[in-house]
Chain A
């Protein structure tokens, strides 16, 4: 996984709550067997609308998504994270993420930055005034920054310590866990014999 320390990019407002995984990428787009190529399905139902924010030229190079509360509810599909990443997004800012979406983001290397609802509103207001403006998501200092000078929006975001560390270091979870092979084996040896198996070991 690529390391992530800080990112500054064009921020795109998505002024909706409960943007569920079927909105991020509908099920019919989940049939690929690779991790790439999912950008076509991103927000597929809304993409046909020329007024949809993703279609506006000022957001064509957007890399930071600023969304309403309960972003990523619904399915466990990591394809939702991949679709955002394949399109070019590096970070999503919201006041509340669904658990599985947040977990998947951390595993795949997309920063899910949880901020206070008021911060989302202030960034939206800022982007209304300056469409195409950039926002910085700094994982080192856990801050989001928009604008400059005395009116700049600078606020902290929540991300759990362990995910932050893994993203900063670009670490592979499986590799870390396999380092604990001895404790896993010891646990396995102590499992009750009546626990079910799908086939003979």
Chain B
């Protein structure tokens, strides 16, 4: 019997396998940031251990960093301590670090791919659940906790029970104006937040193949939001074209050898998945969340749901709690929901293609009175590229705030936070209670919906905008 893509990559990385024990899996790339690593380095120090492979380890600062005044010392002393701790640890253990102010600094999941360090067939881990982003290249990539960070630092391996495999086949083509984000939000509402639990998911089908690498990263990024261990997409010409020429991509004969291997990284025709979900992209529409988990979503053209319409009691209670927290009335058209803040950015939607799309929609328009638009590039490179293309001017002329690179309002560990009761349309990945600031209310949206919402001040799609001469 053939193997699935996930099984091929997994099997290539098994260092040791024994009955009744998890596999010992080799890790090709370990990404590190300031929040989940300090205690791991402490553990090494206490045990007198070294980082086994500093050459397979990369650190950057993203969660805590300010997106304004980033050339000044970090104002919050506790954030500063955490960032300083990473700098000390990187220096002591010989880990390559891209600190605030460095041209390669940015959200760890944006930095890896843009450096060309993220490649097909790899195993990639990071103390961050959105590590699944790197699966877009046909890598097995997943988030780990701090104890596992320490384990990887010390051994370059992880003990992992082999997950089951699932295929998510998305047939057809996305209609114009509907994006990878709408696709994955539709999927999560279909499966619920626990639907992928225990599985490595392979996204496949025409609609997936038609996505750019940026779009594929958006889909894989949110695998964790429906509970999957990891999500990945078979590498193809789109993947190879994206990687070729990147700073850390293989060169010359190494490139040829790599591509030859990468071409074998597809699910065999006779391979069997443990589960499969099939969706049709051609029926998808702009999709937004109304509740407090990413599975509580509805088409933009729909209504805030009525809790009593849910069959399961637990879903009913969850909906009641969510509507109360979100300050929404059942039956309200989603398009009538006023938004205070629009956040464009994050490891989900903070890449150059995302900023280009946002700028294209917003060009010639103004941000609505009573609404603010925050544009936060995923990395310094993305920021510089956008400025080279003049996107920053488009945003600034529209009245948006053009910021420095980092995780920013996705999780509000830095000063970019929602106030109590403030409502956002956010291109990020989680609408949990308080995620973007205590008492903040989050609607997860795509880039086009975010841009149109900024202009109209209510949840909108570009189709709702009156066209302007530009």
Q: Hey, which chain B residues are within 8 Å of A161, CB to CB?
A: 20
A residues 5-39 in Cβ contact with B at 8 Å: 16-18, 20, 22-23, 26-28, 30-35
A196–B85 Cα distance when bound, in Å, is 27
Report A39-55 CB contacts with B as 1/0, cut-off 8 Å.
00000010000000000
Q: Interface residues of A: mostly helix, strand, loop or mixed?
A: loop
Among listed B144-152, B203-211, B366-374, interface-contacting one: B144-152
- Known interface pairs A27-B411, A33-B81, A104-B145. Does A174 touch B155 (Cβ–Cβ under 8 Å)? yes
CB of A103, distance to nearest CB on chain B (Å): 6
A-B contact count (CB 8 A): 201
- Nearest-neighbour CB distance to chain B for A36, whole angstroms, equals 10
Is B175's CB within 8 Å of the partner chain A? no
Tell which of B114-122, B344-352, B387-395 binds the partner: B114-122
Q: Contact between A35 and B293 (Cβ–Cβ < 8 Å)?
A: no
Q: Are B147 and A184 in contact (CB under 8 A)?
A: no
Determine if B257 and A28 form an interchain contact, defined as CB atoms under 8 angstroms apart. no
Q: Which residues of A contact B96 (CB under 8 A)?
A: 198-199
A198 to B283, CA, bound (A): 43
B293 lies within 8 A of A45 (CB)? no
A181 to chain B: closest residue by CB: B155
Which of the residues B38, B122, B258, B321 comes within 8 Å of A33, measured between beta carbons?
Answer: B38
Contact: A184 with B15, CB < 8 Å?
Answer: yes
B227 contacts A73, C-beta separation under 8 Å: yes
* Whole-angstrom CA separation of A191 from B150 in the bound complex: 22
Q: From known contacts A17-B318, A162-B20, infer whether A184 and B157 are also in contact, taking CB-CB under 8 Å.
A: yes
Does A168 reach chain B (CB closer than 8 Å)? no
- How far, in angstroms, from A183 to B16 measured CA to CA in the complex? 7
Contact A26 B155, beta carbon cutoff 8 Å? no
The residues of B that contact A17 with a CB separation of less than 8 Å are 314, 317-318
- Do B15 and A45 touch across chains, with their CB atoms under 8 A apart? no
CB-CB under 8 A for A162 and B55, given A22-B430, A107-B145, A196-B116: no
Interface assignment of B169: CB less than 8 Å from any CB of chain A: no
Size class of the contact patch on chain A: 35 or more
* B residues in contact with A18, CB < 8 Å: 193, 293, 318
Residue in B128, B131, B142, B161 whose CB lies within 8 Å of A160: B161
Tell me if B181 counts as interface (CB < 8 A to partner A). no
Query: Is there an interface contact between B39 and A199, defined as CB atoms closer than 8 Å?
Result: no
Which of B234-242, B266-274, B431-439, B452-460 participates in binding chain A? B431-439
What mask results when residues 113 to 149 of chain B are scored 1 for a CB within 8 Å of chain A, else 0?
0001101001000011101000000000011111110
Asked whether, in the complex, the Cβ of B314 is within 8 Å of the Cβ of A68, the reply is: yes
Q: Which of B28, B39, B129, B227 contacts A195 (CB 8 A)?
A: B28
Residues of A within 8 A of B54 (CB): 198-199
Which among B55, B145, B227 is the interface contact of A197 at CB below 8 angstroms?
A: B55
Tell me the smallest distance from the CB of A39 to a CB of chain B, in Å.
Answer: 16
**Chain A contacts with B in 66-96, Cβ cutoff 8 A:** 68-70, 73-79, 81, 96
A74 CA / B47 CA spacing, docked (Å): 30
Answer yes or no: B383 CB below 8 A from chain A CBs: no
Name the segment of B2-10, B56-64, B356-364, B461-469 touching the other chain. Answer: B56-64
User: Once bound together, how far apart are the Cα atoms of A16 and B324, in whole Å?
Assistant: 15
The one of B129, B193, B249 that contacts A70, using a Cβ cutoff of 8 Å: B193
Query: What's the Cα separation between A78 and B146 when bound, in Å?
Result: 6
Per the 8 Å Cβ criterion, residues 237-269 of B in contact with A are 248-250, 254-255, 257-258, 261
Complexed CA–CA distance, A188 and B15 (Å): 9
**Is A108 close to B, CB under 8 A?**
yes
Cα separation A103 to B42 with both chains bound (whole Å): 20
Contact B150 A174 (CB under 8 A): yes
A103–B227 Cα distance when bound, in Å, is 13
A173 to B151, CA, bound (A): 7
Q: Which B residues touch A32, using CB under 8 A?
A: 78
From B85, B148, B156, B413, contact of A184 by CB (8 A): B156
CB contacts (< 8 Å) of A200 on chain B: these are 55
Which of A28, A81, A180 is most buried by chain B, counting CB atoms within 10 A of its CB? A28
Q: Which 3 A-B pairs have the closest CB atoms?
A: A107-B147, A78-B145, A104-B145
* Given A26-B438, A33-B82, A195-B28, 12 extra CB contacts under 8 A: A20-B430, A23-B434, A34-B39, A69-B314, A73-B293, A107-B145, A176-B159, A180-B15, A196-B248, A197-B248, A198-B96, A199-B54
Mark B residues whose CB is within 8 Å of A. 15-16, 20-22, 24, 26, 28-29, 35-36, 38-39, 42-43, 47, 49, 53-58, 63-64, 76, 78-79, 81-82, 85, 96, 116-117, 119, 122, 127-129, 131, 142-148, 150-151, 154-157, 159, 161, 193-194, 197-198, 224, 227, 229, 248-250, 254-255, 257-258, 261, 293, 314, 317-318, 321, 411-413, 430, 432-435, 438-439
Q: A residues touching B (Cβ–Cβ < 8 Å)?
A: 16-18, 20, 22-23, 26-28, 30-35, 45, 68-70, 73-79, 81, 96, 98-100, 103-104, 107-108, 160-162, 173-174, 176-178, 180, 183-184, 187-188, 191-201
25 contacts between A and B (CB under 8 A): A18-B193, A20-B430, A28-B413, A31-B64, A33-B38, A34-B42, A74-B129, A74-B430, A76-B36, A77-B36, A100-B224, A104-B146, A162-B161, A174-B43, A174-B49, A180-B15, A183-B16, A183-B24, A192-B258, A192-B261, A194-B258, A196-B116, A197-B248, A198-B54, A198-B58
